[in-house]
Chain A
Amino acid sequence: MIRQVSIFMENHEGRLNNLLNILAENNINIRSLNIAETMDYGIVRLILQETDKGIEVLKKHNIMSSLTPVLAAEISDQPGGLSILVEALTKEKINIVYAYSFLPKKTDNAIVIIRVEDEVLEKAIETLKTVPGINLLDRETLLLI
């Protein structure tokens, strides 16, 4: 389980730029970014190199953020790699709320970030741990990759 920083943002030009500038000025590296959008607003989801520092910096700039626990799973980067994971969750009737991919540095494998409902988070972890070929990462090991 790793920590994702979620930020609410109005859907205007310049808003994302403002956020990125704040993080850049404070030397906080973004490891992964995903934006979910509606007509009027979006939610920016970030995996940061230094989550705690990032949260602090955002707070200082009056940007509200919340921490969401998400799963980071290392899977093999070939056709069918992801479906092993999804199949395992489906079998346990665990719904994926959203997912996006993460760019690993030192491995040939792919990493996918998955958000499930909070109530089934533990169950999802237990399930994926037992699936061969899937390596669940905690934050530390993830960032070393």
Chain B
Amino acid sequence: MYWNKSYECMPREKLKELQLERLKRMVARIYHDVPFYRNKFQENGIMPEDVQSLSDLQKLPFTTKVDLRDNYPYGLFTVPLEQIVRIHASSGTTGKPTVVGYTRNDIASWAELMARSLVAAGGRPHSVVQNAYGYGLFTGGLGVHYGAERLGASIIPISGGNTKKQIMIMKDFGSTVLTCTPSYAIYLAEVLNDMGIDPESLKLQIGIFGAEPWSESIRKDIEKKLKIKAYDIYGLSEIMGPGVAIECECQNGLHIWEDHFIPEIIDPITLEVLPHGTQGELVITTITKEGIPILRYRTRDITTIIDEPCACGRTHLKISRLQGRTDDMLIIRGVNIFPTQIESVLLEIGEVEPHYQLVVRRDGSLDTLEIKVELNEALFSDKISNLEKLEHRIKERINSVTGINAKISLVEPKSLPRSEGKSQRVVDLRKI
């Protein structure tokens, strides 16, 4: 089943024509309406008319998160605020967040793409969607919400956290689709198990998980523990939010909705565009966004474009499961570790924003990971046994999410260096 067959299965030639037409319009708009882009074009000696084919996109400048921050909050909006109906912002760990604005049409397109995504992953109008993504400035909650409503599914806007309540609702309301981060799904599965609830007794069939990188083995683990099919969803607020790309029933890559976005893969060092099938950094251009169109956004996400016909019938290109981030991925004993995974575990345990630092060392030929976690008032106890239990809980959770046996060190509050970028949360002492 498709949500919008004529677009989702559009012949590729026709799809490319549509992309070019939309790209030209988008380039003209940002040139005329946003001084930031106009200056960049002029610096590079480019005029909007220079874009005559899709490959001309390569001549155009990139946009980065730093550009968004420099133009905080509204500098890259192409329409006056009176046409903006919603504002979201991404969580800057410190410093200013990245702000995005949506027009009424943007919200409608987002709901459309999210509805397509839900259907591709098996969601249907009769589905009961338990949406455990956070509602708020983060795009996850409301993004899924509007898509589910557009689809006509019954959405339960429970938001994140409060695991016992999540489970009660899952049982009593008969949720059939769960949307949350993969690490939260694992946690839910464990709590279910602890409570002695057999997942077979639930109506849950499908999980749509995203907002952090996860592996095929985590997928298998979640599918086994929750007795569901687990699908990967991709999105980022700078481009739209959840629903930029989604896995179909083939579970072999995520279709990126090419009638709204143009994906490219670049070498993050030389910035050259790489051929399909080569791993590199994903770059996305939005071609329909009105509030804040973004030209060649460097996502920092590492993936591959899969350019082959898909058995599901959708013609849109696929990106492979995310392989990591250009800025902060760690490989320890062959396992990819992302600070975001650690962060979500700590968040889950402490229920407050955690301060932590990952220290990687090489002892002989073995890599070791130490996670320094700052204590805060919520976590502190004057009983050593409680602190030891806390260390143990963190260790177990990290192990079940990443497969790595890390040493957990509790450190004094405010003792870890505060930094602007997440990358400095990692100290790699290996000499390789």
Contacts and interface: CB of A to CB of B under 8 A. Distances in A.
Contacts of A68: 382
A43 B409 contact: no
Contacts of A6: 380, 382
Interface stretch (A24-32, A34-42, A78-86, A135-143): A34-42
A51 interface: no
A10 B410 CA distance: 8
A102 interface: no
B388 interface: yes
Interface in B401-432: 409-415
Contacts of B413: 8, 62, 64
A66 B377 contact: yes
Contacts of B410: 8, 40-41
Q: How large is the interface on A (under 10, 10 to 19, 20 to 34, 35 or more residues)?
A: 10 to 19
A115 B382 CA distance: 10
Given A9-B412, A40-B409, A41-B387, A64 B382 contact: no
A43 B382 contact: yes
A64 B376 CA distance: 8
A97 interface: yes
B375 interface: yes
Interface string B367-396: 000000001110010111001100000000
A10 B380 contact: no
Nearest to A62: B414
B414 A8 contact: no
Contacts, number: 43
Given A8-B375, A10-B415, A40-B409, A64 B384 contact: no
Interface string A45-56: 100000000000
Contacts of B387: 8, 38, 41, 43
Interface residues of B, number: 16
Contacts of A8: 375, 380, 387, 410, 412-413
A97 to B, nearest CB: 6
Nearest to B383: A97
A138 to B, nearest CB: 20
Interface string A81-122: 000000000000000011000000000000000010000000
A30 B380 CA distance: 22
Interface residues of chain A: helix, strand, loop or mixed (majority): strand
B150 to A, nearest CB: 47
B382 A10 contact: no
B121 to A, nearest CB: 44
B384 A4 contact: no
A38 B382 contact: no
A64 B377 contact: yes
* Most chain B CB inside 10 Å of its own CB: which residue of A9, A41, A68: A41
Contacts of A45: 382
Nearest to B379: A8
A99 B412 CA distance: 24
Nearest to A68: B382
A8 B380 CA distance: 8
Contacts of B415: 10
Given A8-B412, A10-B412, A10-B415, A38 B384 contact: yes
A97 B415 CA distance: 29
For A8, A9, A10, A36, which residue has the most chain B Cβ atoms within 10 angstroms?
A8
Nearest to A4: B382
A3 to B, nearest CB: 12
A16 to B, nearest CB: 12
Give the interface centre of B384, B388, B411 by most chain A CB atoms within 10 Å.
B384
Query: Which of B376, B380, B411, B413: most chain A CB closer than 10 A?
Result: B380
A36 B387 CA distance: 12
Interface in B58-100: none
A66 B412 CA distance: 13
Contacts of B383: 43, 97-98, 115
B375 to A, nearest CB: 5
B376 A66 contact: no
A97 B386 CA distance: 11
A74 to B, nearest CB: 23
Contacts of B412: 8-10, 64
Nearest to B408: A40
A10 B411 CA distance: 6
Contacts of A98: 383
Given A8-B413, A43-B387, A115-B383, 9 more contacts: A8-B387, A8-B412, A9-B412, A10-B411, A10-B415, A41-B410, A43-B384, A64-B375, A64-B377
12 contacts: A6-B382, A8-B380, A8-B410, A8-B412, A10-B411, A38-B384, A40-B409, A43-B382, A43-B383, A64-B375, A97-B383, A98-B383
Interface of A: 4, 6, 8-10, 36, 38, 40-41, 43, 45, 62, 64, 66, 68, 97-98, 115
Complex A-B, nearest 9 residue pairs according to Cβ-Cβ distance, in ascending order: A6-B382, A64-B413, A68-B382, A36-B384, A8-B375, A10-B412, A62-B414, A43-B382, A40-B409
